[in-house]
Amino acid sequence: MSKHKNDIYGDLEKDRENEGAEPAIPAATVLLLREHEKQNQVLMLHKTSKISFGGMWVFPGGKIDAEDYAGGEDDNDAARVAAARETEEEAGISIPADEFIWFAHWTPPASTAKRFATWFFLTSTEDDHEINVDGGEIQNHQWINPSDALQQHAKGEIDLAPPTWVSLYHLSRFDTIDQALNKLNEQPPRYYQTRVVKDQNGSRVALWDGDAGYPEWDAATSGARHRLTMSKDGFAFEHDAVPY
């Protein structure tokens, strides 16, 4: 059984045992939206190959630093500050922290090589920003329609980690930026505590809360679905348990 090249998760048995796992590193990332020529677009950055998520297209973001807690000890507040700081550091765009909508939190399985427990935020910006990347950790950038990004991934033209892919999928279902902002702002953040198993075909499947197979780590359990099948030929998302 071969993994999809963008399956970032580790050994399945270690995930079940979950013993001796290092705590996940707190991090924050931002889906920065704009409307350009009547098309919804999100900013994506291309990471260099020698760092975490190397070679993948990602959203601006990074780990939460100690100074991000200057306003207090609340993790959610610090994540928001980190999101604003990383957006300026990685893309050269300054947006007040209180304009970020917290809509998701992702934690990978215990076996993942380097784990980040990541707050996902959403915001929008005007069309005329100049993006400045450092040419070090980030080697390129693009504003891209979410559906186009998913199509490029399906063709093997770009690499996307599962949390990035799922976030793009949800964005692709909104007709306008205001619709996305309003909908995700009115509901509580969704937590993705990822469990990875195999299905009957030997493909690896990421399960999340709401999936019928999630409690027992069993992809064959019938019922509601909230999962990403990561076959070597591509990603397939099922989510009737948590429709937007």
Predicted pLDDT at 224? 96
Handedness of CA 147, 237, 206, 188 (dihedral sign): positive
- Please state, as a whole number, how many other Cβ atoms lie within 10 Å of the Cβ of residue 50: 8
Predicted structure pTM score: 0.93
The residue to which tokens 């390129």 are assigned: 140
Map out the domains of the chain as residue ranges. Answer: 23-192
pLDDT, one tens digit for every residue, the chain (244 residues):
578 999 999 877 666 656 567 889 999 999 999 999 889 999 999 987 665 656 899 999 999 999 999 888 899 999 999 999 999 988 888 999 999 999 999 999 988 878 899 999 999 998 677 777 666 678 889 999 999 999 999 999 999 999 999 999 999 999 999 999 999 999 999 999 999 999 999 999 999 999 999 999 999 999 999 999 999 999 999 999 887 7
Answer CATH for 23-192 from 3.30.9.10, 3.30.470.10, 3.90.79.10, 3.30.200.20: 3.90.79.10
